[in-house]
Amino acid sequence: MMPPSSIEPVAQLSPAERAALSAVPAPCDLPTHVEVFEVGPRDGLQNIASVVPAAVKIDLINRLCTLGFRRIEAVSFVHPHAVPQMADAEAVMAGIDKGTAQIVGLVPNVRGVERALACGGIDALNFVLSATESQNQRNLRQSIAESLDALGESAALARSAGLPLRATISTAFGCPFEGYVPPERVLDIAERCAALGAGEICLGDTTGMAVPTQVYRLFRALALRVPALPLAVHLHNTRGSGAANLMAALHAGVAIADASIGGLGGCPFAPGATGNICSEDTVHMLSGVGISTGIDLEGLIVAARAFEPRIGVHLPGQVMRAGSSLGALRR
């Protein structure tokens, strides 16, 4: 079924247009609401060579907090030598005026959770590990088994502090070091994460290697493996398949999508990683399809345009340049 508020003006068709379209098979069910989870302040900024001042980060996060996002990944609690850009996580958190938005902190280990709990203002945790040993070693300097042990301890700590914890499995669709990632391995890791206390599972296409059929199949299989948990998708648009991969994930039942303002993003430990799928482009497309996001698209476009010169990088977002076409298509 086409969602009811799709910009395809089905309700306004003439009888002849309606007859012509009635021969077209309806697409599969899509969710009517998708949560766009903003990760720009963390995944986006972590890959910028020059250090962005805490005040600029705070301005960005505070602006994002007014635009309707339910969750914003604002910082990570990782080793400052590993990602110098995130070394000021505590200072950034001290300046945030979050309103009703939930602020999420990425954590790689128990020490990260302890820092997150100590600094205050964090509403949820995103524990990251990789689907491949090579990427886990490069990124986190530990084996997957060690990461899973840390996840168990982290989930227990989070639970006693009353914070939800999501597990993000990066390089789930392809690895810059190992190439092909067996789907069974991803499903096994996801099942372990669920058993260890993760309340949501996210699969990451860290270097944009996924294709839509693969995304669809892996999420369908994941929904069978961990049927009780919400599923999220974290896509990078490195090879231009981001929007198609997102639609494939939605067709598979996913209703949470990470995205970053302006399409900023990357991973310093994954060669070839580029930006996340872009928040404005994603909201624009979903809105056009008739899927609500609760996000103020025009406000987000204005924010992306205002933010670009302040960080001194060219953002790959497209709707921030072209503007929304949704108004023009409604009749």
Please give the positions annotated as active site.
267
Distances (CA, A) of 243 to 101, 211, 283: 25, 10, 11
- Is residue 78 at the binding interface for ligand COA, with CB under 6 A as the rule? yes
- Tally of CA atoms within 13 A in the half-sphere of 73 that contains its CB: 32
| Nearest Cα to Cα of residue 65 among 311, 324, 303 | 303
- Is residue 73 at the binding interface for Zn ion, with CB under 5 A as the rule? no
- Burial status of residue 169 (CB atoms within 10 A of its CB: 0-12, 13-18, 19 or more): buried
d(CA 151, CA 19): 55
Q: How many of the chain's residues bind ligand COA (CB under 6 A)?
A: 18
Shortest spacing between CB 185 and ligand COA, in angstroms: 18
Task: List the interface residues with Zn ion, window 33-52 (CB under 5 A).
Answer: 43
Please give the structure tokens belonging to residue 310: 């302040």
Q: What is the CA 5 to chain-centroid distance, rounded?
A: 24
In the bound state with ligand COA, the residue whose beta carbon lies nearer, of 78 and 167, is: 78
In the bound state with Zn ion, the residue whose beta carbon lies nearer, of 67 and 267, is: 267
Task: List the interface residues with ligand COA, window 265-294 (CB under 6 A).
Answer: 267, 269
User: Out of 41, 108, 208, 242, which residue is the one contacting ligand COA (CB under 6 A)?
Assistant: 108
Q: Are 32 and 3 in contact (CB under 8 A)?
A: yes
In the bound state with ligand COA, the residue whose beta carbon lies nearer, of 171 and 287, is: 171
- Is residue 158 at the binding interface for ligand COA, with CB under 6 A as the rule? no
- Is residue 37 at the binding interface for ligand COA, with CB under 6 A as the rule? no
- Burial status of residue 221 (CB atoms within 10 A of its CB: 0-12, 13-18, 19 or more): middle
In the bound state with ligand COA, the residue whose beta carbon lies nearer, of 265 and 317, is: 265
The item of Zn ion, ligand COA, none sharing an interface with residue 216, based on CB under 5 to 8 Å by kind, is: none
Q: Are 207 and 267 in contact (CB under 8 A)?
A: yes
User: Out of 36, 64, 122, 140, which residue is the one contacting ligand COA (CB under 6 A)?
Assistant: 140
Which parts of this chain interact with ligand COA (CB under 6 A)? 46, 76-79, 82-83, 108-109, 111-112, 115, 128, 139-141, 267, 269
Which parts of this chain interact with Zn ion (CB under 5 A)? 43
